[in-house]
Amino acid sequence: MGLVRQLPRRVVLIGGGVALAAPAIVRAQSHTSATPFTLGVASGCPRPDRVVLWTRLAGGGMGEAPVDVTWEIAEDERFSRIAARGSFRATAAEAHSVHVEAGGLRPARPYWYRFHSGGQTSPVGRTRTAPADTAKPERLRLGVASCAQYEQGWFSAYRHMANEPLDLVAHVGDYIYEMSWGQRHVRKHGTANPTTLQEYRDRYALYKSDPDLQAAHAACPWVVAWDDHEVDNDYTNDRSPLTQDRDFFLRRRAAAYRAWYEHMPVPPSMAPSGPAMRIYDSWRFGDLVDLFLLDDRQYRSHHACAEGKGGRALFTDCAERLDPKRTMLGAEQEAWLRDGLARARGRWTVIAQQTLMAEVDRAAAGATEPVYWMDGWDGYPVGRQRLLDAMAARRGANHVVLGGDVHMYAVADLRAGSGPVIATEFVGTSITSQGPSSERVRTLAAHNPHLKYLRGDKRGYVVIDVMPSSCHAHFEAVDVAADPQTGKRRLASFAVAAGRPGAVPA
């Protein structure tokens, strides 16, 4: 497609900080040779007649004045058949980000888009509209990504995703990391953990300067949800493990959500209001797939069984965990999802959310009592049960659950108790974030024989290939995360047959 070649080369980092351009970067109206499009382009939220187009004029140095940007979307790569065009006034209040809903498009076809400002033209992005609601698509190819800690590896997994023929990418969270952690860093954030809007903007600008991430965005539309690291590690709703000051944390959350909005290909209607922002949504792909994307951070109950304990939310059981009032999604989102599942018409329903849904005993080797990670679904077992019941209520449907967060590939058949299999779960590893040790993975596998596959030593992504009669999951892994030019290979594939839930090796 030539898309990758048109993107700017890896920017030079000066002193480990954000050096997207010199501070006095081009004002878009001044006709200098420097481009304001250093953060790339993106598209997202595809519907049969429209798609969201995104860019942000170079981070920092744009000044306070608004800047006019024109956009165009075409049916061909050379822009000879323009489908729609328009202009957008990028303001300092939104960090000169551009969010456009390009409408009047035709369903189920590729489009190419670009932006112009101050005599400069952006890289070209390729996108794709969703099929018409009444269409009968033969397949949907979906990439699943999560957990891209910038310091722990190059974004090679994103580069390889860009080269897959994907209709859509679902990013299920940890797109940025607010914190430095892990070993063997290949590069540095160079700044402290962000807490203010400007600091979060700078962190996004750093990540967005990566050419492999830009290539993955330019290759196809994305749907995006956050997990915790877009704000603060292991936060729950209005509570942070780092502070007792709820008001301070909500101000931080508001800054983080606003910066997330400014950098994601989501519609202008999604803009946050203070610390609140609705990001969960659903998409229909003809009669083949109903896709639900969930937010399991913003509305969740606080960690169970945590009273008087610190550390990483790994606790033995207690009565609080089983309280039916506990919720991972919040009452409103649960009701929306229950209603959406009941209305779904697709042969497959795909629920993309943040973390492993299957129950996992995380006790150390030799322990006599199970240990649960209260930050995951195991901290919300009754809410999980309600979700599985809502899926089971739609007879004849085929349910697939996708997740990330655990930095391991995992496969599980989801049942309610000892009942029949209700859904099949595939969890991606991480783009770069380091996984658990092989010894830890061995212990997890020994304690949890119901997990059909578990692998934590490889970084990469998952390709979900949905067809009317079957759904395949391919686990794609880069060879060496520390090598910027690394190759990739397919580690394993699983299949689910329509009408027969549960994964089998393929």
If the CB atoms of residues 150 and 285 are measured against Fe ion, the closer one turns out to be 150
Please choose, from the candidates 193, 189, 163, 211, the residue with its C-alpha nearest in 3D space to the C-alpha of residue 8. 211
Comparing every residue's Cβ against Fe ion, the nearest one is 147
Angle at the Cα of 426 from the Cα atoms of 234 and 216, rounded to 5 degrees: 80
Q: Is 313 in the site for Fe ion (CB under 5 A)?
A: no
Name the H helices within 238-360: 246-263, 331-343
Show the binding pattern over residues 174-193: x = contacts Fe ion (CB under 5 A), - = does not.
x-------------------
Window 35-74: residues binding Fe ion (CB under 5 A): none
Residue 406's Cα: distance from chain center in Å?
14
Asked if 126 and 110 touch (Cβ cutoff 8 Å), the reply is yes
If the CB atoms of residues 137 and 376 are measured against Fe ion, the closer one turns out to be 376
Helix (H, G, I), strand (E, B) or coil at 159: helix
If the CB atoms of residues 35 and 433 are measured against Fe ion, the closer one turns out to be 433
- In degrees and rounded to multiples of 5, residue 222 shows phi and psi of -120, 150
If the CB atoms of residues 147 and 351 are measured against Fe ion, the closer one turns out to be 147
Query: Distance between CA 16 and CA 271 in Å, rounded?
Result: 31
If the CB atoms of residues 147 and 401 are measured against Fe ion, the closer one turns out to be 147
- State in angstroms the smallest separation of the CB of 433 from Fe ion: 5
- State in angstroms the smallest separation of the CB of 143 from Fe ion: 17
Please choose, from the candidates 295, 219, 294, 232, the residue with its C-alpha nearest in 3D space to the C-alpha of residue 259. 232
- State in angstroms the smallest separation of the CB of 184 from Fe ion: 17
Contact stretch for Fe ion (CB under 5 A) within 45-53, 140-148, 366-374, 412-420: 140-148
Show the binding pattern over residues 150-179: x = contacts Fe ion (CB under 5 A), - = does not.
------------------------x-----
- State in angstroms the smallest separation of the CB of 147 from Fe ion: 3
Show the binding pattern over residues 409-448: x = contacts Fe ion (CB under 5 A), - = does not.
------------------------x---------------
Query: Distance between CA 282 and CA 268 in Å, rounded?
Result: 17
Asked if 349 and 296 touch (Cβ cutoff 8 Å), the reply is no
Among 147, 205, 213, 356, binds Fe ion (CB under 5 A): 147
If the CB atoms of residues 301 and 429 are measured against Fe ion, the closer one turns out to be 429
- State in angstroms the smallest separation of the CB of 226 from Fe ion: 11
Residue 232: partners with Cβ closer than 8 Å, 6 or more residues away: 178, 240, 241, 242, 249, 252, 253, 256
If the CB atoms of residues 376 and 381 are measured against Fe ion, the closer one turns out to be 376
If the CB atoms of residues 56 and 459 are measured against Fe ion, the closer one turns out to be 459
- In degrees and rounded to multiples of 5, residue 358 shows phi and psi of -65, 145
Contact stretch for Fe ion (CB under 5 A) within 23-31, 57-65, 143-151, 438-446: 143-151
Half-sphere exposure of 331 (CA within 13 A, CB side): 2
Query: Distance between CA 166 and CA 498 in Å, rounded?
Result: 21
Contacts with Fe ion by CB under 5 A: the residue count is 3
Maximal C-alpha separation, the chain = 70
- State in angstroms the smallest separation of the CB of 183 from Fe ion: 15
Query: Distance between CA 212 and CA 158 in Å, rounded?
Result: 6
- State in angstroms the smallest separation of the CB of 262 from Fe ion: 21
If the CB atoms of residues 97 and 146 are measured against Fe ion, the closer one turns out to be 146
Applying CB under 5 A, which residues contact Fe ion? 147, 174, 433
